[in-house]
Amino acid sequence: MPTALVLGAPIAHSLSPVLHRAAYAALGLSDWRYDAAEVDEAAFVSFVAGLGPEVRGLSLTMPLKEVAFEVAETVSDRARLAGAINTLVRTPTGWAADNTDIAGIVAALKAALPDDLRDLDLVHRRSRRTGLIVGAGATARSAMIALAELGCVRVTAAARNPTKALASLSALADRLNLELTVRDLDYWQESKAGFIVSTVPAAGGAVAAEILARHLTNLSGVRMLDVVYADWPTPLASASHAAGATVVSGLDMLVHQAVEQVELMTGRRPDWRDLMEAGHAAVAAR
């Protein structure tokens, strides 16, 4: 039986099994199976080496997006650029690595744009787009690439450790021809941006929400994606909505990146709406 797995630590919270199974059902792939396995960095390489040929694809969550380079035979341009892998697909000679988080972020934010702005010429969009990233880890790098694809020419990264954030993101910003500013998380809301992507976990998002509420910042016209989808709306999502932003759930990003993964692993592209319906039902049941 063809099988795909999602790996990470912890993994019990993952919605990937729900989304991929919904895709298989909608596509009539009744012979495919999708499961979850808790695997940390130390065990990852040996775990992958022990997988049988029936395992056709792997979805990777934290903390495996960087260690995955150790098992990849080929790496897509977008995964290499991001320095992060969230998808491995078995080929006749080894594992092919990719990063579908980027496409997931782009699709989620683009859907939040008014219809008359979605198809603007890239040059025109570049003259008027700025982006803000909250956080500086592997997902932040994917977010930076996504913001560049959406037409941003200036990006601010706000993190608890600005020095570490600069080291993590500056080379990528140069490759993307982006003007990068790094600031302390305490001042994240002061950056004027058309798009905001929060890549921090729930605890960090709660801190960012407190900062936003304290300063009463006006976020009207801003499209904001919070990659967290559990316990929605998160404190950050609620605070951003109250400040006037159009807020997009991490579930939207997860669904759109899962569509890309399913296609890479099975060769069939599902309708994102089937996955979204299953995702909403699963979140509501928790």
Q: Sheet with 195-198: list strands edge to edge.
A: 179-184, 154-159, 130-134, 195-198, 223-226, 246-249
pLDDT of residue 217: 86
Would you list the domain boundaries of the chain? 3-100+252-285, 103-250
**103-250: CATH superfamily:** NAD(P)-binding Rossmann-like Domain (3.40.50.720)
Token representation of residue 137? 């880890």
Neighbours of 179 (CB within 10 A): 11
pLDDT of residue 138: 83
Given a contact cutoff of 8 angstroms between Cβ atoms, the answer to whether 172 and 131 are in contact is: no
Distance of alpha carbon 211 from alpha carbon 214, whole angstroms: 5
Residues of the chain with pLDDT under 70: 114-128
Strands (E), 214-254: 223-226, 246-249
pLDDT of residue 126: 36
Token representation of residue 103? 């496409």
| Residues with Cβ within 8 Å of residue 21, at least 6 apart in sequence | 34, 278
pLDDT of residue 114: 66
pLDDT of residue 118: 45
Q: At what angle do helices 138-149 and 162-175 cross, to 10 degrees?
A: 40
Is the sign of the CA dihedral 162, 165, 171, 172 positive or negative?
negative
Given a contact cutoff of 8 angstroms between Cβ atoms, the answer to whether 68 and 88 are in contact is: yes
Given a contact cutoff of 8 angstroms between Cβ atoms, the answer to whether 44 and 88 are in contact is: no
CATH architecture, range 3-100+252-285 = 3-Layer(aba) Sandwich (3.40)
Q: Beta strand 33-38 with 3-8: parallel, antiparallel or unpaired?
A: parallel
pLDDT of residue 128: 54
- Bond prior to 10 in cis (omega within 30° of 0): yes
User: What are the DSSP calls for 30-56, one per residue?
Assistant: TT-EEEEEE--HHHHHHHHHT--TTEE
pTM over 0.85: yes
pLDDT of residue 286: 82
pLDDT of residue 124: 35
Tell me whether residue 65 is one of the annotated catalytic residues. Answer: yes
Distance of alpha carbon 92 from alpha carbon 70, whole angstroms: 18
Is-same-fold flag (3-100+252-285; 103-250)? yes
**Catalytic-labelled residue, pool 65, 110, 164, 192:** 65
